[in-house]
A and B are shown apart, each in its own frame.
Chain A
Amino acid sequence: MPTKTTFDTHQRAAPHRLNQRATCTVPIRTVLAVLAATTALVLTGLWVGNNVNMLPLDASSNAPTYDALFKVLFSIGTMLFLGIVILLVYSMLRFRRRAGDLSDGLAIEGNLPLEIVWTAIPAIVVLFVGIYSYDIYERMGGMVALNDHSAMDHSAMAQSAMAPGRVWGGIGAAGMDAAPGGPVLPVEVTAMQFAFIFHYPDAEITSGELHVPTGQQVELHMEARDVIHAFWVPQFRLKQDVIPGQPTVLSFTATKAGTYPIVCAELCGPYHGGMRSNVVVHEPEAYDAWLQQNSPNRTTT
């Protein structure tokens, strides 16, 4: 039966494979060029990571730690991205097919040493990034077991002020944040469509804005009334979902006085985009004044 196939691979003789082997005859100029290009790439990445600012003001003790991680990731990312794009564009131009050239490229089907190298590169990079970000996370207090009460002794007051029960997640109060010796300021956060309500159990203040002093660790005990919300302060680099039925906790220490947005970051209904509040960070004296002004017990003090 005639076929339209003019070329049938199984009729070919066993083809000779050109499996390129690593040789020791790489010209010294190539080695130098590769080294120079790699150095330039690393320096560019480091420069970009350290000089291009992509982040808002850092206003919590956790933020500079985050920003250090960001710089590392941004530097490595820039190196990898630029390296790959430059290689790609170079190949597209250098190995462009000339008009009328119907021949094939070299029959290189693989190169084991080379493939091992570029398996190792991402493996080493992600291992380093993983260990480094674990360290950062631990310093943020993220690895604290939230229901281990021995680790939360210093917030015993907060515990007593809360409904008893399990805390389901969040960032605990025993990171490097922990103000040594200083008391923790507990605040109960209730999220609902479409507002945050802040209650200060010690001062018996209820507020629509969060007021905190600089330098004191704040522990937010959060629960949602209706749907899932998320408490996010971009300047603190912290976010925690606020979940109905499952209390969560978020600790931070503000470092810079100012007013920063609190943003709901979990779709919670039609006015989700409007569910915003402010966190007002005071110097300690100004915070005490605010407490005095708003406390229902101020006549007694």
Chain B
Amino acid sequence: MTLANPSDFNGSLQPQGWLRYFSFSLDHKVIGLQYLVCGFLFYLVGGALAGAIRTELVTPLSDFMPRDTYNEVLTLHGTVMIFLWIVPVVNGAFGNYLIPFYVGARDMAFPRLNAVAFWLIPPAGILLISSYFIAGAAAQSGWTAYPPLSLTTPAAGQVVWILSVLLLGGSSIFGGINFIATILKLRRPGLKLMQLPMYCWAMLGTSILVVLSTPVLAGTLILLSFDIIAHTGFFNPALGGNVVVYQHLFWFYSHPAVYIMVLPAFGLVSEILPVHARKPLFGYTTMVYSIMAIVFLGLIVWAHHMFTSGTPPWMRLFFTIATSFIAVPTGIKFFNWLATLWGGKIALNSAMLFSCAFIVNFVFGGITGVALAQVPFDIHVHDTYFVVGHFHYIVYGGTVFVIFGSLYHWYPKFTGRLLNEDLGRLHFLLTFIGFNLCFAPQHWLGLNGMPRRVAEYDPTFTTLNQVSSVGALLMAISTIPLLVNVVVTALHGKPAGDNPWNALTPEWLTSSPPPVENWIGEAPLVTEPYGYGQHQDRGREVQA
């Protein structure tokens, strides 16, 4: 069976030039960049919402916005950041751009499905945000939408929220199927699975999680919408429904969703570190197995979000143990990255600074994560700012730092121009300081009695909340050098050449930006994507 014959669809019928980025393009590189830019725009929206939250929390009183608006803002912030920024960018953007190169293909396995997957996102996102203006009220029950709260808050906003998340989940599933098919079926002849760059393994693992768990979320949300629209009683205790069942179903997706957000970041870091440290990726085989171990364990840990929900003791025990053991494969990955850096020739450029900061942030979030997995520890800090601090260290300090690092690393491939390093380092410094200032104090706040999702708090917590808000302001400011850098570079940046980093992975063995169908001539067979140090003169050879 031929899965795709690219010359059928990448011909002259497709728009050329900048217009193709606004078209139903079937080119995986165009779709990747569509994901990236679209995701970044939603990141700015989600960031503005975060700014509103941190402004409200400058004072202990609820005095900046109405209380129900505050709940709408925190619901939209979580939903936008997860479903419209991190998941689409770390999977859709980099996955679409890089995976066909890495397997030696000219496009994804199902290009039309790919375009559909992307084009579901802008309408879903606009629908979600417009619910605030059109439906009278956006969803107010948090991104978790726990019933019965989600059954009692304004129905229109909640239903729009469900519809939007269903569309985004559908997009995610289409993408996942596409990645699995591409990685397993479109590999260039002669290329073995254990020769693939690590990001392929990360995306294979992630896509398995997407395909297995996202349908569960979809089904759950459909039942929830029945409860709201048709007054069924699946999750309505007044009609005999069970609210804890919703939580089980919700977290069956939403815990793996954490790995859907971080595994691709692990993959991207595994690409960036060897290039800028000039060393092979340490322990390739154990890295592959640890990804698959995380995938398996990630599916059986969901109830650690529910230790205070009235789960039976044996369940608490099981989920504590399963969750703790995720630290083992994750630990292997971090030690292997450190070993990759050890003895290297490390270039401390922006891509590398963000990647190394990712290690610092994620280790911190991982350690608090192991603590949170312990039932007695969690019972005190569950649903507090400790948890808010923890998961922002994972998804922002982890994944978003990697997204920025990846941007500095692959921008020359996307555009043929190198991002300005001075602006990049400024961006890094502001982000790193702002991020830690914003989220580190939240751990203390949680331990000492500040619950999450509140618009007002005990006045003794004022100072640290203000520190946190200053950090958020720095994070907001940090996007300015980034935006200036991206725009100015696109117009006047230093030409990068095809392979500015002397990298060995296949996307660098073609022009920058690459041609339609990726290579003029046959795709190269790259069996050692991390073969640094084997030919000491090779760096100069490529430069020549």
A7's contact among B310, B339, B542, by CB below 8 Å, is which? B542
Q: Provided the pairs A88-B338, A126-B328, A269-B149 are in contact, do residues A264 and B451 lie with their beta carbons within 8 angstroms?
A: yes
Which of B44-52, B415-423, B524-532 interfaces with chain A?
Answer: B524-532
Q: Is B132 interfacial (CB 8 A cutoff)?
A: no
Residues of A contacting B339 in the complex (Cβ-Cβ under 8 angstroms): 108, 111, 114
- Tell me the chain A residues, 21-80 only, with Cβ under 8 Å from chain B: 54-56, 65-66, 69-70, 73, 77, 80
Q: Is A201 interfacial (CB 8 A cutoff)?
A: no
Which of B18-26, B33-41, B87-95, B341-349 interfaces with chain A?
Answer: B341-349
Q: Within the assembled complex, what's the spacing in Å between the Cα atoms of A184 and B320?
A: 30
B525's contact among A10, A15, A267, by CB below 8 Å, is which? A10
Q: Interface residues of A, CB < 8 Å — how many?
A: 100
Which of A156-164, A212-220, A232-240, A285-293 interfaces with chain B?
Answer: A232-240
CB distance from A118 to the nearest CB of B (A): 4
Q: Interface residues of B, CB < 8 Å — how many?
A: 121
Q: Is A298 interfacial (CB 8 A cutoff)?
A: no
Return the chain B residue nearest A271 by Cβ: B67
Does A273 contact B345, Cβ atoms closer than 8 Å?
no
Name A's B-contacting residues (CB within 8 A). Answer: 1-10, 12, 15-16, 18, 54-56, 65-66, 69-70, 73, 77, 80-81, 84-85, 87-88, 91-92, 95-98, 101-111, 114-115, 118-119, 121-123, 125-126, 129-130, 133-134, 136-137, 140, 142-146, 168-171, 226-228, 230, 232, 234, 237-241, 243-246, 248, 261, 263-274
- Tell me the chain B residues, 68-119 only, with Cβ under 8 Å from chain A: 68, 70-71
Does B363 contact A246, Cβ atoms closer than 8 Å?
no
Does A272 contact B280, Cβ atoms closer than 8 Å?
no
Residues of B contacting A267 in the complex (Cβ-Cβ under 8 angstroms): 71, 141-142, 146, 149, 452-453
Residues of A contacting B447 in the complex (Cβ-Cβ under 8 angstroms): 54-56, 234
Does B343 contact A105, Cβ atoms closer than 8 Å?
yes
Q: Within the assembled complex, what's the spacing in Å between the Cα atoms of A277 and B283?
A: 54
Residues of A contacting B509 in the complex (Cβ-Cβ under 8 angstroms): 5, 7-8
CB distance from B323 to the nearest CB of A (A): 9
Does A142 contact B313, Cβ atoms closer than 8 Å?
yes
Q: Provided the pairs A103-B536, A267-B146, A274-B456 are in contact, do residues A232 and B451 lie with their beta carbons within 8 angstroms?
A: yes
Which of B172-180, B371-379, B394-402 interfaces with chain A?
Answer: B371-379
Total contacts A-B at CB 8 Å: 341
Does A227 contact B148, Cβ atoms closer than 8 Å?
yes
Residues of B contacting A4 in the complex (Cβ-Cβ under 8 angstroms): 498, 510-511, 520
Does B313 contact A226, Cβ atoms closer than 8 Å?
no
Q: Within the assembled complex, what's the spacing in Å between the Cα atoms of A171 and B308?
A: 9
Residues of A contacting B504 in the complex (Cβ-Cβ under 8 angstroms): 9
A selection of 8 A-B contacts at a CB cut-off of 8 Å is A69-B376, A73-B370, A77-B370, A84-B363, A105-B279, A232-B384, A240-B310, A269-B140
Does A96 contact B449, Cβ atoms closer than 8 Å?
no
Residues of B contacting A65 in the complex (Cβ-Cβ under 8 angstroms): 376
CB distance from B447 to the nearest CB of A (A): 5
Which of B156-164, B236-244, B469-477 interfaces with chain A?
Answer: B236-244
Q: Within the assembled complex, what's the spacing in Å between the Cα atoms of A237 and B40?
A: 40
Q: Within the assembled complex, what's the spacing in Å between the Cα atoms of A142 and B315?
A: 11
Does A245 contact B510, Cβ atoms closer than 8 Å?
no
Q: Is B311 interfacial (CB 8 A cutoff)?
A: yes
Does A245 contact B149, Cβ atoms closer than 8 Å?
no
Q: Provided the pairs A136-B376, A228-B146 are in contact, do residues A96 and B348 lie with their beta carbons within 8 angstroms?
A: yes
Does B527 contact A55, Cβ atoms closer than 8 Å?
no
A103's contact among B68, B345, B368, B541, by CB below 8 Å, is which? B345
Does B327 contact A125, Cβ atoms closer than 8 Å?
yes
Interface 1/0 per residue, B327-356 and A, CB below 8 Å: 110111011101101111111100000001
